[in-house]
Structure 1
Amino acid sequence: MNRALWLLGAGLVMVIAIPLVLGGSGLGGQLRQFPLDTFLLMLGMIVMCWNLNAGRLRLLLAGRGGHLGQRRAVGMVMATEFAISATPGGSGGPLTLMGLLSRQGVRPAQATAVFAVDQITDMLFFLSALASIGLYALSHTIDLRLGWMLAVPALLLIIGFGLLAALGKHHRRLLKTSGRLLRWLKVRHRSRVKLARGLIHFRHALVETLALPRLTLSLIFLLCCAHWLLRYSILYLAVSGLGQDIDWSWTFIVQMLSLAAGQLTLLPGGAGGAELSSTALLSPMIGAASAAAAVVIWRAVTFYFYLIAGAPVFFVMAGRSMLGSLLKRRSAAT
């Protein structure tokens, strides 16, 4: 647990330290001139994101686990986002959400299915967004030499959808193959049966979730789009608030690549990698000082604010025992 806390502390320091080093002496002046009303607007957008995700969660549950009000759903989302920001690779987020749903009375298979469909809608949004930005790039003055920024993540998403489709179509073969593998590894028969039963229950819960009315699924996807469009407009507002002109699509791509690079650091919130890559991508367009200032503001809103606002909610809803369990598990893994 101590090791996990050290990792979190290192992440908090690197979020600020890297932009300070890369921004140079002009960073302070850039931050002082940033409009307060724009910063408050950005915080308000994050609060709206929490409410949108809470609405999506309520629709996905569709009454399973009893009545879930908007206020409690927002609390679940805030606690989950806190766990994502506080653990390496965001791995604590799914465990927190499923733990909270379990306390709500949702069965583990149903909670896992809800999380899986939530992730599928996210993937579908990003694939759609990349395709739209690609079409936009073809008709506007955007450097086409950077097309790999669109092609690589789009290809990975397409491969991901292909794997999901293959798993869904050949799930029986997967169960048989995994059973033989576990038997070869000398896993006990009872454990193999328990795992197979869990996978079957998960598949049934997934089919049940995907069988929601089309109108409900469409609304879930619209809420997903609204959330990510707001969330990925934060960096654009940070750059614009500093008096710099940049295309929104560039800030979208920068955030996608930077957050992906941040996962390689194995620090909470992708600290270090996200700051280094985003500053490097923005500097040629708006200058080092402005890029570093924009990154500091962006991360203050999408990292520090998630920790500060989410921590008390997490402790109220999940409790110290769940936090200790998460930190110990991630510390052992790293």
Structure 2
Amino acid sequence: MSRGILLVIALLAAVLIPSLLGGGETWSRLQSFPLEWLLIMFGMILLCWVINTLRLRLLMGDQCIKVSRLKSLGVVMSAEFAYCATPGGSGGPLTIMALLARHGVRPARGSAVFAMDQLSDLLFFLCALSAILIYALFQHLSQRLEWMLTVSAISLFGGLFSCVLMARCHRSLIRLSGRLLARFNVKEATRLRWARKLLHFLAAFTDTLKLPFQTLITVFALTCLHWVLRYSVLYLALRGLGVDLQWAWCFLIQMLSLSAGQFSLLPGGAGAAELTSAALLAPMVGKSTAAAAILIWRTVTYYFYLVVGGPVFLLMLGRPLLKKLMKFKQA
């Protein structure tokens, strides 16, 4: 119940922040926005779901025969809903692993698929951010934007370095964590179970890395296509409002805003993402235009995920529970 209340509060904050920023002009700007542009953006999100479904099936390798294409799409939509509805997106990986496990995919393999998916995302953002850094060398940036760009680059490179370090030194890390857990009086059986699960995950992740090189390249190409489509929504929203802001800056604003939302630990970053994007976008395009663009952007990339993904999430995770209840009543 508390999570539901938190989600409602976050949604209210997400709507109020842009509305207060733009004032009465915001709604007139929204009314003049072309409907066909909005439909195109929704179509882009549907295409993103299809792309992520292909990524999921490629990363599962020979395990993909256990999950049909339609159910794979349901896994992706349910996971996206969980990302948007839980603090810091914590429900996303749990949803993927739970749904794959219900179709016979081992939890270690499911977590490895998720980890590989995240690694592919990380590589894309590193490449994109590096390109933006090179582009920014020839542009005049505000001091605040330069600082945020530098922090983002350091964070991404730090994340990649941490992944490489954990992969190379996993045995030492397991021993170190075992000693730390022993100091906290964690039972030996529990420590061994956790260490075994970690080793199973590493083995499954290694198997995923051993997928054919062409498959991994295809996964990365699909990753790039997915994020380019998704991060073009704000650019198209501004174009529909009559503002021609360069795509690179739209990409950077979205990346920084969503990162701030993740750190806020609010469901879907609601409130924090709007506040950050408003602070970055308003000086460039004006308050009313920024407010209208933010509302369109978040409607397509956040509220749409909740409205469409929610029923799929309940259907895929709620139907087995309903069957158990029916069997109990019949007995």
- Measure how far apart 1:317 and its partner are: 0.9
Question: Aligned partner of 1:114: which letter?
Answer: V
Deviations 1:14-33 (A, max 9, x none): 12111111111211111010
Which deviates further from its counterpart, 86-95 or 286-295?
A: 86-95
Look up the match of 2:324: none
| Cα distance in structure 2, aligned partners of 1:60 and 1:246 | 36
Look up the match of 1:64: 63
| Cα distance in structure 1, aligned partners of 2:69 and 2:50 | 8
Look up the match of 1:53: 52
Deviations 1:238-267 (A, max 9, x none): 111000120111111111111111234332
**Contact 2:56–2:72 at 8 Å: present in 1 too?**
yes
- Measure how far apart 1:65 and its partner are: 5.7
**Contact 1:66–1:104 at 8 Å: present in 2 too?**
no
Look up the match of 1:143: 141
- Measure how far apart 1:142 and its partner are: 4.5
**Contact 1:89–1:268 at 8 Å: present in 2 too?**
yes
Which deviates further from its counterpart, 160-169 or 44-53?
A: 160-169
1:98-247 map, 5 Å:
98-139=97-138, 141-143=139-141, 145=143, 146-247=145-246
Look up the match of 2:326: none
Look up the match of 1:29: 28
Question: Aligned partner of 2:237: which letter?
Answer: A
Cα-Cα RMSD: 1.5
Deviations 1:250-302 (A, max 9, x none): 11111111111123433211111111110111111110000000000000001
| Cα distance in structure 1, aligned partners of 2:7 and 2:186 | 36
Look up the match of 1:91: 90
Question: Aligned partner of 2:271: which letter?
Answer: G
Quickly say closer, same or farther: Cα 1:17–1:166, change in 2 above 3 A. Answer: same
Which deviates further from its counterpart, 237-246 or 257-266?
A: 257-266
Question: Aligned partner of 2:308: which letter?
Answer: A
| Cα distance in structure 1, aligned partners of 2:149 and 2:318 | 41
1:299 maps onto 2:294 in alignment: no
Which deviates further from its counterpart, 64-73 or 232-241?
A: 64-73
| Cα distance in structure 1, aligned partners of 2:165 and 2:292 | 44
Quickly say closer, same or farther: Cα 1:189–1:122, change in 2 above 3 A. Answer: same
- The SS at the match of 1:63 is helix
| Cα distance in structure 2, aligned partners of 1:245 and 1:65 | 43
**Contact 2:58–2:64 at 8 Å: present in 1 too?**
no
**Contact 2:97–2:111 at 8 Å: present in 1 too?**
yes
Q: How many residues align?
A: 320
Look up the match of 1:329: none
| Cα distance in structure 1, aligned partners of 2:184 and 2:282 | 52
Look up the match of 2:259: 260
**Contact 2:51–2:226 at 8 Å: present in 1 too?**
yes
Look up the match of 1:326: none
1:303-318 map, 5 Å:
303-318=302-317
Which deviates further from its counterpart, 7-16 or 213-222?
A: 7-16
| Cα distance in structure 1, aligned partners of 2:3 and 2:180 | 33
1:275 maps onto 2:270 in alignment: no
| Cα distance in structure 1, aligned partners of 2:142 and 2:136 | 7
Any gaps of 5 or more consecutive residues in structure 1?
Answer: 323-334
- Measure how far apart 1:206 and its partner are: 0.7
| Cα distance in structure 1, aligned partners of 2:10 and 2:115 | 28
Look up the match of 1:78: 77
| Cα distance in structure 2, aligned partners of 1:137 and 1:181 | 44
| Cα distance in structure 2, aligned partners of 1:277 and 1:180 | 41
Look up the match of 2:318: 319
| Cα distance in structure 2, aligned partners of 1:158 and 1:277 | 22
- The SS at the match of 2:186 is coil
Quickly say closer, same or farther: Cα 1:320–1:276, change in 2 above 3 A. Answer: farther
**Contact 1:65–1:104 at 8 Å: present in 2 too?**
no
- The SS at the match of 2:65 is coil
| Cα distance in structure 1, aligned partners of 2:140 and 2:25 | 28
Look up the match of 1:327: none
Look up the match of 1:325: none
Identity over aligned pairs, percent: 51
| Cα distance in structure 2, aligned partners of 1:267 and 1:156 | 20
- Measure how far apart 1:71 and its partner are: 1.9
Any gaps of 5 or more consecutive residues in structure 2?
Answer: 322-331
- Measure how far apart 1:320 and its partner are: 7.2
Question: Aligned partner of 2:107: which letter?
Answer: P
| Cα distance in structure 1, aligned partners of 2:169 and 2:18 | 48
**Contact 2:97–2:107 at 8 Å: present in 1 too?**
yes
| Cα distance in structure 2, aligned partners of 1:167 and 1:260 | 23
